A and B are shown apart, each in its own frame.
Chain A
Amino acid sequence: MIKAILIFNNHGKPRLSKFYEHYTEDTEQQIIRETFHLVSKRDENVCNFLEGGMLIGGSDYKLIYRHYATLYFVFCVDSSESELGILDLIQVKVFVETLDKCFENVCELDLIFHVDKVHNILAEMVMGGMVLETNMNEIITQVDAQNKMEKSEAGIAGAPARAVSAVKNMNLPEMPRNINIGDISIKVPNLPSFK
């Protein structure tokens, strides 16, 4: 079972938190802080497994994480999950690549502004703490189909709001578009797109 999936940035700011077991908001924040503390002090080229988060789980639980550019992806799992399998799940096969496809070169800002979408993608991959689907194409198909439904529902009524939102987004001087997580390379940070 997966007990929690956390994404936070290099400063420990949560970008996505999904707990498959109930904790109070305070505990959740504490877990995020503690996990960040544990994960962030590790060197780049050490192993991606960590034992013993104090708050989450116990001896049976492991933190499995990956660090991409500015983001940490952390899965808290118990012994029924294969460590290498989860690592693969984070990147090689599924999660990050799906994000990359859905957001077209995903960057931290995508996650910041579209947490709900990330949640929706995650929901197609992991459900209630168990891995639902490991096939990236299948996930993308389902996510796309649902987004299409959403668009058709919005129809004409949603158009003005979308337009306003687009205008608002243009006023984003700090929005770097090209941080490619897949290659861990930051191409153009802080390009002022509007002058």
Chain B
Amino acid sequence: MALKIVKGSIDRMFDKNLQDLVRGIRNHKEDEAKYISTCIDEIKQELKQDNIAVKANAVCKLTYLQMLGYDVSWAAFNIVEVMSSSKFTYKRIGYLAASQCFHESTDVIMLTTNQIRKDLSSPNQYDTGVALTGLSCFVTPDLARDLANDIMTLMSHTKPYIRKKAVLIMYKVFLKYPESLRPAFPRLKEKLEDPDPGVQSAAVNVICELARRNPKNYLSLAPLFFKLMTSSTNNWVLIKIIKLFGALTPLEPRLGKKLIEPLTNLIHSTSAMSLLYECVNTVIAVLISLSSGMPNHSASIQLCVQKLRILIEDSDQNLKYLGLLAMSKILKTHPKSVQSHKDLILQCLDDKDESIRLRALDLLYGMVSKKNLMEIVKKLMLHVDKAEGTTYRDELLTKIIDICSQSNYQYITNFEWYISILVELTRLEGTRHGHLIASQMLDVAIRVKAIRAFAVAQMATLLDNAHLLTGNMQRNGICEVLYAAAWICGEFSEHLENPMQTLEAMLRPKVATLPGHIQAVYVQNAAKLFATVLKSQEGNTDSTAAQETSQLMIDRLPLFVQSANLEVQERASCILQLVKYIQKLQQKDVEIAEEVNALFAGELNPVAPKAQKKVPVPEGLDLDAWINEPPSESESEDEQPKAIFAKEEPKHSRPRHTEVDEKELARRREARKQEQANNPFYIKASPSSQKVYQDTPGVEHIPVVQIDLSVPLKVPGLPMSDQYVKLEEERRQKERAEKKKKEKKKRKEKRSGRGKKHDSGPESEEDITPAHQVDIVTEEMPENALPSDDDDKDPNDPHKALDIDLDNLVEAAGRRPLADSEKLPVRSHRETPKSPAEDGDTENAALQEPKKKSTKEKREKKKDKDRDRKKSKEEKKKKKHKHEEKEEDLLGGQADAPVVQSEETSEVVAPPTSTNPEEATTVAEAEAAPPPEAASGTAPDSEPDQPQDADTEEAKSSKHKKKKQKKEKEEKEKKKKKKHHHHHHHSDGGGEESVQNGTVEEEEPLPPMSNYCLLAENSYIKMVYDIQGNLQDGSQVVVSVIFENKGDSFLKSMEFNVLDSLNSKLQRPDGSGPHDGLTVPFQLPPGVSNEARFVFTVQSIIMPQKLKGTLTFIVKNEDSSTHEKLDFKLHFTCTSYLITTPCYSDAFAKLLESGDLKGSSVRLEGVNMPFHHLLARICFHHHFSVVERIDSCASMYSRSIQGHHVCLLVKTSGQTVSIDAKCDEPTLLGNVLDEIKQTFSQC
């Protein structure tokens, strides 16, 4: 033996190991890919060998290759093999490989469940550790669900090494399987006070991650964290806690007040910069949350700003960076305290580190005022010139525009200056932000009326010098500004000094090299200019000038007509024809200018970018509803705008406002109503939807800010923005002097409306008046626009599911037994025809229409409809059957995996996304099976109320702590009730499975049902069980037993034993004797329940039978432990050998015709339930499926695990139900019928 091992290893030493591989790759630098591919071939050979050491070596090499970017997923199975080696060395290699390359869609992952479970419970702590580490990287929802229990147990492991890993991995489990959060939370909370600092730190870590996403659920932990913060010395933990407080304070200002003191103490005392920084950060967060309530924290702000200044002044670039980062947070609420450090921040703009410069830029945004805007922008412009890298320069550019345009150009006093800044920015080569500049130009020109003349002059110059901008077209985004320039010149052409020149500039052949959308604007605006030029020229006596202009257009436009761009082509040919026509008229000496101008009459108002979105949907209008008929022809004609051309719009589409007077509108409305009334196809909405929105508010409705014009400015040509700084300075001085002369009264009048908005400037800001009459036209919004901010939260955010209210749990400190829906998953077989996807479906359905189902009336209606639809439903059902078979096939394939003890939720409907699992469960249950009360004996109506009540109560209680104590009694009572209620569910509630089988109409409400029946019970423990046949093996049945700990003591070492009969035997692991008990693979803390599965082999299935058994367990109290036992009788009914199997009606007919089956029948009297409930019961309790149903008659089918066919024909008339049955085994049939009879006699 030893010789063999040595021999094997001697063989092995000539295999390449990882080091050899690395060395080889380094020696083959030229043909690395080729070398690696030969290596991969070798690895493939090695993986084929039986020697696990060779395999492990191969997998180790693969891990390295994976890092180099090679896909190694093909070896996934081998990785699993290596993982399952018993040697730690290989196991570690396997888990490492798995953690590097497994992910959710790796299919072999499901093979690992048992291996991982085994490793988790390994006596060797490092086996467990390595499994936990690996699992943390590739945990899937399935694994999380299956292993949650085992990991939870590990959280109380004796070794801190395991405990800390188990605690930490729980976060990953929560993410993948949110249902586990509630049951695991009490223990997690316990770990916050673990004696081992590592475990404590892990627990803090996990809770911080959880709280970061859903802080409100963790507010109740604040006192505990507070204690930790004042006691802990571990900086890492402190940082985490302090960060957590930063997230909590916005929700609870009182917490913030308490925090300030200890935090400031820490700031003063700590030497760790990381801790200091986080303290400052959290203090800032506190101050922000307090800023509305308490103004008197200036000392703290001063302290923060002062500390931050120290950081920023530090030579360590990291501190500088973080200091600026934190500063920007203060800026939002306390701009004044930051503004005093303007010098420092401007200094940072010169830093060589780009990250720091960017941070400083962010800060500038909040530091500008009317007074210093020009100065700051001037400085930034200098940086723009110096900036070498385009990214930083682009960043500067956007920042300049951001700073200037912020809050509606609040700080701009001189728009001429701003326009010149924009024009200067166009000289930047290779910037990506041409469109940004363009949209600013447009925005300013449109919204600031007073600036138009100046803007137009500037734009005309730009157009004239277009060749400068378009120098390098391909990578030059700056030509976008020509778009704005052309549009401004066209639209406001009345301000042009020399329109003719501009027109010529716009029609230059070079324009044809511009991008299509810009050319299109050129063409359109050339037409506008043409109209203006005509107007001026027609006034003159000399008519030839006008004709020359037309000729110019006719000469130049064909260039555009030939354009490859459709838009350009179309516009150009339209305008060309128009001009030709005009020319014709001109030759006849017709005055045409007026009419041409009319084409472009009217004012364009800016529309807010979100205006369209904000139009509220009128009441009663369902946008998703199907519209059967398109609106009639005449109507659409009616609404067509009068203008031939809608003026082309610059950036966002602006609806053209047709100027129609009220009377006309009313008339049209009336006409339309008439028409709609007469139109049989028109869907009439409720009256409110007829509400017509006022067309436009008209120009007089636009709030116009009137500001006294003190010094008219006129700067000809293309001035440098710098000039303005000086001019502005002069202007202000002059103004100041003037003001002194004036009386106070007048000064008050002078105040602008806008000035009032921001009287917060450091020095009397409002004294600075803008140089222009500035009309800032506000953007138009539809009436009734909703002011909502669309915070688009990512619906796929995994953390949403973790938004679970944990308060009630916390208050009860984990003592309260968890509700049914919150139990941890239990073990069950994968072959139950249920996948997580289906889970989601049922749940979605549940969430979609819980309301509909809740009221009885609607149910009645539904039934009526159902009757109407019966036929179509039959068809649907058939389809459904087909569908199901497919699904089952898929699942069957999956079930081949060797899982003996995989897990499944016992609660079929366990909503993962709901914030309140209890409620959602009840809703889902109600959906799945809200019964007529009589049927089930439960009172489902009372159920939905209860949890809600409890919830509101809890919500209140957190607010009014004094009241809470009084209410506690009530609550306890309620909890009792609830508990009781859920028990009820266990015995005969929870009939979701019948729906999931799809064997009955899923729309009809069904009573809750459960197959779990009581096995045995004493004061410590309660057992309920269910028996299911095993699809794969005709001689096996699986007994699922739910153990529930009823007392307050810990139950452990549970052993389950059964006295085998000749016919049925409990399957025991190899090597154990026929009388040995099976250890239940878990322990039960108080109030917890869990499920275990036991496999039995049966020989004959035609007779029911009972097996005696015993459960032994140790009851462990704080001071004592006793050994207890509980006897039980397992009842194997014949039904439990049947397996729900769908059957086609034709196959069913053939089966009946074959004559192999023997018949029998039974009559049930006094069955008082709807037919579909009856069917559902048979389906659910006796594992049948409906083949066909016609009125009050249905055929059903099932198959035993040994392949016996069982066919039923169920008829009902009044309260009598007759069942004719056929089966190839009469004894079995007789027993099944007896059992069915019994089921119905019970209710």
Known: A46-B352, A120-B92, A142-B161. A132 touches B202 (CB 8 A): yes
B108 to chain A, nearest CB (A): 15
A30 to chain B, nearest CB (A): 9
Residue A131 at the chain B interface, CB threshold 8 Å? yes
Partner of B243, one of A16, A80, A156: A80
Complex contacts, A26 vs chain B, CB 8 Å: 69
Residue A183 at the chain B interface, CB threshold 8 Å? no
B1011 to chain A, nearest CB (A): 38
Complex contacts, A16 vs chain B, CB 8 Å: 67
Cα A128 to Cα B239 with chains together (Å): 20
A161 and B356 contact, CB distance less than 8 A: no
A82 and B278 contact, CB distance less than 8 A: yes
A160 and B13 contact, CB distance less than 8 A: yes
Partner of B168, one of A24, A28, A112, A128: A128
Known: A80-B212, A82-B239. A88 touches B274 (CB 8 A): yes
Known: A47-B320, A48-B318. A127 touches B165 (CB 8 A): yes
Known: A14-B67, A127-B136. A46 touches B13 (CB 8 A): no
Residue B60 at the chain A interface, CB threshold 8 Å? yes
Partner of B93, one of A24, A116, A123, A134: A116
Partner of B355, one of A49, A134, A172: A49
Residue of B nearest to A159 (CB): B9
Complex contacts, B88 vs chain A, CB 8 Å: 146, 149-150, 153
Residue in A22, A87, A128, A161 whose Cβ sees the most chain B Cβ within 10 Å: A128
Partner of A115, one of B64, B133, B208, B358: B64
B71 and A20 contact, CB distance less than 8 A: no
A127 and B318 contact, CB distance less than 8 A: no
5 extra interface residue pairs, beta carbon distance < 8 Å, beyond A47-B353, A116-B63, A168-B23: A16-B67, A84-B318, A85-B278, A130-B206, A156-B6
Complex contacts, A159 vs chain B, CB 8 Å: 9
Closest 4 CB pairs of A and B: A128-B136, A84-B274, A22-B103, A47-B317
Cα A142 to Cα B139 with chains together (Å): 24
Cα A135 to Cα B234 with chains together (Å): 10
B277 and A84 contact, CB distance less than 8 A: yes
A165 and B352 contact, CB distance less than 8 A: no
B96 and A116 contact, CB distance less than 8 A: yes
Residue of A nearest to B64 (CB): A115
B120 to chain A, nearest CB (A): 15
Residue B22 at the chain A interface, CB threshold 8 Å? yes
Residue A164 at the chain B interface, CB threshold 8 Å? yes
Complex contacts, B87 vs chain A, CB 8 Å: 153
Sample (7) of A-B pairs whose CB atoms are under 8 Å apart: A47-B355, A80-B208, A85-B239, A115-B63, A128-B136, A128-B168, A135-B197
Partner of A169, one of B18, B19, B133: B19
Cα A131 to Cα B240 with chains together (Å): 11
Cα A113 to Cα B5 with chains together (Å): 27
Complex contacts, A25 vs chain B, CB 8 Å: 66, 69-71
B84 to chain A, nearest CB (A): 16
Task: Render A136-180 as a binary contact track against B, CB cut-off 8 A, 1 for contact.
Answer: 001000100110011001101111110111001100100000000
Residue B321 at the chain A interface, CB threshold 8 Å? yes
A29 and B69 contact, CB distance less than 8 A: yes
Partner of B89, one of A88, A114, A127, A153: A153
Residue B104 at the chain A interface, CB threshold 8 Å? yes
Task: Render B257-278 as a binary contact track against A, CB cut-off 8 A, 1 for contact.
Answer: 0000000000000000110011
Residue A69 at the chain B interface, CB threshold 8 Å? no
Task: Render B54-80 as a binary contact track against A, CB cut-off 8 A, 1 for contact.
Answer: 000000100110111111000000000
Q: How many positions in chain A have a CB within 8 Å of any CB in the partner chain?
A: 64
B205 and A133 contact, CB distance less than 8 A: no
Residue in A82, A87, A135, A159 whose Cβ sees the most chain B Cβ within 10 Å: A82
A6 to chain B, nearest CB (A): 10
A49 and B318 contact, CB distance less than 8 A: yes
Complex contacts, A133 vs chain B, CB 8 Å: 164, 198, 201
Task: Render B620-634 as a binary contact track against A, CB cut-off 8 A, 1 for contact.
Answer: 000000000000000
Complex contacts, A165 vs chain B, CB 8 Å: 13, 17, 19
Cα A130 to Cα B205 with chains together (Å): 7
Known: A25-B69, A49-B321, A142-B161. A127 touches B9 (CB 8 A): no
Cα A48 to Cα B236 with chains together (Å): 19
Task: Render B193-235 as a binary contact track against A, CB cut-off 8 A, 1 for contact.
Answer: 0000110011001101100100000000000000000000011
Cα A158 to Cα B129 with chains together (Å): 24
Residue of B nearest to A94 (CB): B236
Residue of A nearest to B274 (CB): A84
Cα A172 to Cα B23 with chains together (Å): 9
B10 and A160 contact, CB distance less than 8 A: yes
Complex contacts, B322 vs chain A, CB 8 Å: 49, 83-84
Partner of B96, one of A1, A120, A130, A149: A120
Cα A138 to Cα B67 with chains together (Å): 28
A112 and B22 contact, CB distance less than 8 A: yes
Partner of A28, one of B69, B124, B136, B278: B69
Residue of B nearest to A154 (CB): B89
Residue B20 at the chain A interface, CB threshold 8 Å? yes
Complex contacts, B9 vs chain A, CB 8 Å: 157-161
Cα A28 to Cα B67 with chains together (Å): 8
A113 and B19 contact, CB distance less than 8 A: yes
A130 and B209 contact, CB distance less than 8 A: yes
Partner of B277, one of A47, A82, A158: A82
Residue A40 at the chain B interface, CB threshold 8 Å? no
Cα A18 to Cα B137 with chains together (Å): 10
A25 to chain B, nearest CB (A): 5
B164 to chain A, nearest CB (A): 6
Complex contacts, B92 vs chain A, CB 8 Å: 120, 146, 150
Residue of A nearest to B317 (CB): A47
Cα A20 to Cα B136 with chains together (Å): 9
Residue A9 at the chain B interface, CB threshold 8 Å? no
B353 and A22 contact, CB distance less than 8 A: no
B729 to chain A, nearest CB (A): 37
Partner of A145, one of B2, B126, B139, B318: B126
Task: Render B334-362 as a binary contact track against A, CB cut-off 8 A, 1 for contact.
Answer: 00000000000000000011111010000
Known: A48-B318, A116-B60, A161-B12. A132 touches B164 (CB 8 A): yes
B398 to chain A, nearest CB (A): 14
Residue in A48, A115, A132 whose Cβ sees the most chain B Cβ within 10 Å: A132
Residue of B nearest to A89 (CB): B236
Cα A120 to Cα B93 with chains together (Å): 9
Complex contacts, A154 vs chain B, CB 8 Å: 89
Cα A98 to Cα B92 with chains together (Å): 20
Known: A83-B322, A115-B67. A47 touches B104 (CB 8 A): no
A1 and B278 contact, CB distance less than 8 A: no
Residue of A nearest to B102 (CB): A22
Which B158-209 residues have a C-beta within 8 angstroms of A?
A: 161, 164-165, 168-169, 171-172, 197-198, 201-202, 205-206, 208-209
Task: Render B126-141 as a binary contact track against A, CB cut-off 8 A, 1 for contact.
Answer: 1001101100110100
Cα A114 to Cα B71 with chains together (Å): 21
Residue A91 at the chain B interface, CB threshold 8 Å? no
Residue A37 at the chain B interface, CB threshold 8 Å? no
Residue A119 at the chain B interface, CB threshold 8 Å? yes
A173 to chain B, nearest CB (A): 11
Cα A127 to Cα B202 with chains together (Å): 10
Cα A172 to Cα B206 with chains together (Å): 46
Residue of B nearest to A115 (CB): B64
Complex contacts, A85 vs chain B, CB 8 Å: 235-236, 239, 274, 278
A95 to chain B, nearest CB (A): 14
Residue A96 at the chain B interface, CB threshold 8 Å? no
Residue in A14, A123, A138 whose Cβ sees the most chain B Cβ within 10 Å: A123
A149 to chain B, nearest CB (A): 5
A151 to chain B, nearest CB (A): 9
Complex contacts, B243 vs chain A, CB 8 Å: 80, 82
Partner of A135, one of B23, B124, B136, B198: B198
B450 to chain A, nearest CB (A): 39
Cα A174 to Cα B202 with chains together (Å): 43
